[in-house]
Structure 1
Amino acid sequence: MGYTADCKLNYEGKGYAGKALLETDYLEFKGDFKLKVPFKSITAAALENEALQVKFDGRRALFDVGRQSEKWLQKIFNPKGLLDKLGVKPEHKVCVLKVADENFLMDLGKRVSKVNHRLVSGSDVIFLGAEKESDLAALARCKASIKKDGAIWVVTPKGQKNFNENHVLAAGKKAGLVDVKVVKFSETHTAHRFVIPKAQR
């Protein structure tokens, strides 16, 4: 999930009013006019009269998001890595089931002392890969293995007609879990974060 703010955009000599969205890898304006600026295309970014100025692909745009401008500038220069967005800390006990992303596994192995590839009682974080609806049956067992304040991330493919977010949310609810966050896991996968309801902790 990104950050949203009311915005006045100045682009190519014209002014527009609408909403600005700051995601993990792009900046977007939505209104009568739409503009999306991937971070990788930004060649310079700075504050100009308390507005966020970005230069990209030989063009220039001024996003006036008020007091958010400085905060957004820092997030463009210092975007969070995936493990930070997933809330993984060095001291965490982590389990990974059916997640085959090599870059993720390599980074995770550097962040924590041990990565368990089976369920371990008292886990802080469990990553469950689900490529089809039947894979979600493991959620109940995952719930029994996390700490009361632990989390389960369900990693699923994007753009599947027969297996989508509705299946994931329904399975989480059936397992007695609450969906609290969604992040972009990779270009091909999304991750939903489930926790035990506060009333049951």
Structure 2
Amino acid sequence: MERVYTTPLLDKLGIRPGMRVALIDINDPDIRALIADRTSDLTVGWPAPETDVILLGADTVAALEQLESLATRIRQNGAIWVVSRKGEAATLRDVQVIEAARAARLVDNKVASFSATHTSLRLVIPTHRRVGRTR
């Protein structure tokens, strides 16, 4: 029997009311509308400083070259979700995203189905590198 997941997409992505969110190369009006209903702090394009969540659409390794710069735009406990095609239409493998994340000094820690055609991988600043870490 196939499992049916009912968690809403924005909950899976950790997008809560009032968060600062940025969309880069995400050409999906439905996700834009969902996020706009949840928070008024939505940027389409380069993110403002201290952004909570960045959604980065990527279908090539070249699109991942901006990860290091984007990492400077998220909060210490923020996230960059790399959204790419899945299945036979995939042009980017998860190992390529993970390799690019490591080069940008980020780690992957979650995967989520973004839609019927796209998957997403969450990248974060490792806890040992976060400013103000107390443990």
Say yes or no: TM over 0.5: yes
Q: Are 1:130 and 2:95 counterparts?
A: no
- Separation in 2, partners of 1:129, 1:192: 11
Cα gap change, 1:167 to 1:121, in 2 (>3 Å):
same
| 1:168 to 2:133 alignment | no
1:139 offset after TM fit, Å?
A: 0.6
1:25-82 CA deviation, whole Å, 9 max, x = no partner?
xxxxxxxxxxx2364xxxxxxxxxxxxxxxxxxxxxxxxxxxxxxxxxxxx7xx2100
Q: Aligned ranges for residues 146-185 of structure 1 at < 5 Å?
A: 146-159=74-87, 160=89, 162-185=91-114
Name which one, 1 or 2, has greater alpha-carbon Rg.
Answer: 1
Whose strand fraction is larger, Structure 1's or Structure 2's? 1
Residue 107 (1) aligns with residue 28 (2): no
Tell me which residue corresponds to 1:56.
Answer: none
- What residue is the counterpart of 2:69 in the other structure? 141
Letter in 1 for 2:111: V
Provide the residue aligned with 2:49 in structure 1.
121
What code does the residue aligned with 1:81 have? P
Higher relative contact order (CA 8 A, sep 6+): 2
Which residue is equivalent to 1:92? 19
Query: Deviations for 1:124-175, whole angstroms, at most 9, x for unmatched residues?
Result: 1111110111100111111010011111101011134652111111101110
CA RMSD of aligned residues (A): 1.5
The alpha-carbon distance between structure 1 residues 101 and 162, as it changes in their structure 2 partners (threshold 3 A), is: closer
1:6-85 maps to which residues of 2 (within 5 A)? 36-37=1-2, 39=4, 79-85=6-12
Tell me, in whole angstroms, the C-alpha distance in 2 between the residues paired with 1:192 and 1:130.
11
User: 2:94 and 2:13 mapped to 1: Cα distance?
Assistant: 18
- Please tell me whether the aligned partners of residues 112 and 120 of structure 2 are also in contact (alpha carbons under 8 angstroms): yes
Q: Secondary structure at the match of 1:95?
A: strand
Size of the aligned set, in residue pairs, is: 128
Question: Tell me, what secondary structure is at the counterpart of 1:37?
Answer: coil
Aligned equivalents of 1:166, 1:132: Cα separation in 2: 12
